[in-house]
Amino acid sequence: MQLRSHDHNKCIEAAVNAARDICHRRETRFTPLRCKVLELVWNSHAPVSAYELLDMLSQEGRKRAAPPTIYRALDFLIEEGLVHRLESLNAFIGCPDPAHKHQGHFLICRTCRTVTEVNDKKLIARLTKAARLQGYSCETSMVEIVGLCVECQN
Amino acid sequence: MQLRSHDHNKCIEAAVNAARDICHRRETRFTPLRCKVLELVWNSHAPVSAYELLDMLSQEGRKRAAPPTIYRALDFLIEEGLVHRLESLNAFIGCPDPAHKHQGHFLICRTCRTVTEVNDKKLIARLTKAARLQGYSCETSMVEIVGLCVECQN
DNA sequence: TTTTTTATGATATGTTATATCTTCTCTTTC
DNA sequence: GAAAGAGAAGATATAACATATCATAAAAAA
Ligand SMILES: [Zn+2]
Ligand SMILES: [Zn+2]
Ligand SMILES: [Zn+2]
Ligand SMILES: [Zn+2]
């Protein structure tokens, strides 16, 4: 999914609506703070750090929040599969397909920082196999591929 | 490569000898400090953090070193492919095959913390393909798989 | 030897994340 | 509706991870 020009408000709205729906079905609490943080995460298709989110939250008219505020909200959103953490960037990004829980795998453009989530069955199969060949089980897998996106290759 | 009982001094010695050799061929400087840090990284087959290395270094009779000391040594060792960084653990581990530079992929046991490096051709091929399917190039890839090692499955 | 380069030491600070205790809010029970 | 309980958010402090910058030392080059 590339950025190009698109109505990003729709992206945000869709993400929030999906989240509300999912949490309602699971009977977990999609509170105003958690909703606000999810919106902020979805401010762009680029990953955002916890402290950037804190700054954004402060500029929303609220009084300055402390780090635990944002980390707790992120913990919830990650637990519900609404947000993923990018280990190599210490940053967070909204999941475009939160309905079914999964471990996200990511393509990161080193130039424009756009991140695309992939869900490649054959890749997952190969990860499992590579582990099994060494006698390991594969419970979760973190995959972050850095390269150039379509746009930046030109 | 599993741990079980083995003569770990041989592991350390082999790693240091290989490093000395590689740096000599490349005409890069395998200084006493860098050698010491490599030895400390190889103290076990589990990942070790930068600050743990600092503590270990202090207990070697040297006066307390400052963080840049260890980070600079690690930067060198990583650049030379002698050590890899585990992004999801903020930790470092010795490379068992430093002769040929490569991006390491890792199996991490969530119980005993043992880490095994894998170099799976088919996995690398699939990572490249998954990226290309989205129009991305694949320059480097971080793969960290968490599960249980052979020992811990029993 | 003098100059230049590279490595290390030292100090300060920046960035990311968590522990802990308190307060608030909402729900349940009486 | 009041009391009790559970979960969320606020507040404060601190831990854990990492880098910028300038000074000094050691090694290599001229
Ligand atoms: Zn968008
Ligand atoms: Zn996802
Ligand atoms: Zn060993
Ligand atoms: Zn390796």
pLDDT in tens, A46-82: 999 999 999 999 988 778 899 999 999 999 999 999 9
Q: Hey, are the CB atoms on B139 and A149 less than 8 Å from each other?
A: no
User: A91 C-alpha to center of ligand 1: Å?
Assistant: 18
On chain A, the residues whose CB falls within 8 A of the CB of B146 are: 138-142
In this complex, which of A116, A139, A153 lies closest to B137 when CB atoms are compared?
A153
Q: Tell me, what's the pLDDT at B2?
A: 52
Which residue numbers of B have CB closer than 8 Å to A's CBs? Answer: 2, 87-88, 105, 107, 109-110, 116, 118, 120, 122-123, 126-127, 129-131, 133-150, 153
Q: Which ligand is nearest to the CA of B81?
A: 4
Contact B83, B41 (CB under 8 A): yes
So what's the pLDDT on residue A61? 72
B87 vs A123: CA distance, rounded Å: 20
Q: Which nucleotide is nearest to B68 (CA to C1')?
A: D19
What is the amino acid identity at position A64? R
A127 to B130: CB separation less than 8 angstroms, yes or no = no
Q: Is residue A2 part of a domain?
A: no
Identity at B45, one-letter amino acid code: H
Whether B20 is covered by a domain: the verdict is: yes
- The CATH number of whichever domain residue A111 belongs to comes to 1.10.10.10
Residue B139 neighbours by CB under 8 Å, 6+ apart: A110, A146, A147, A148
What is the domain extent for residue A120? 8-153
Residue A41, classified by CB atoms within 10 Å of its CB into exposed (0-12), middle (13-18) or buried (19+), is: buried
φ, ψ of residue B71 to 5 degrees: the values are -65, -35
pLDDT by residue (tens digit) across B78-119?
Answer: 999 999 999 999 999 999 999 999 989 999 999 999 999 999
- Look at residue B62 in the predicted model and tell me its pLDDT: 75
**A-B contacts at Cβ under 8 angstroms:** 127
Among the bound ligands, name the one nearest to the CA of residue B18.
Answer: 4
Query: Considering the domain boundaries, does residue B1 fall inside one?
Result: no
CA torsion angle A20 A22 A25 A31 (round to 10): -40
Asked whether residue B35 is domain-assigned, the answer is: yes
Which residue places its CA closest to the C1' of nucleotide D12? A66
Asked whether the predicted pLDDT for residue A1 surpasses 60, the reply is no
B100 residue type, one letter:
H
In a domain, A3, yes or no: no
Whole-number pLDDT of residue B64: 87
A145 lies in a domain? yes
Is residue A46 assigned to a domain? yes
Taking the model in full, what pTM does it have? Answer: 0.93
Residues of chain B under the 70 pLDDT cut: 1-3
CA dist B14 and B16 (Å) reads 5
Query: Mind telling me how many Å the CA of A32 is from chain B's nearest CA?
Result: 30
**Tally of domains in chain B:** 1
Answer whether residue B3 is part of any domain: no
Q: E strands, B1-154, where? A: 83-86, 91-94, 105-109, 115-118, 140-147
Residue A131 pLDDT level (bands cut at 50, 70, 90): very high
With a cut of 80, say whether residue A18 has pLDDT above it. Answer: yes
Determine the Cα–Cα distance for residues A115 and A93; give it in Å rounded to an integer: 8
Contact B149/A136, CB-based, under 8 Å?
Answer: yes
Name the token pair of B110.
């969530």
* Confidence at A3, pLDDT banded by 50, 70, 90: low
* Chain B: residue whose CA lies nearest to A127: B123
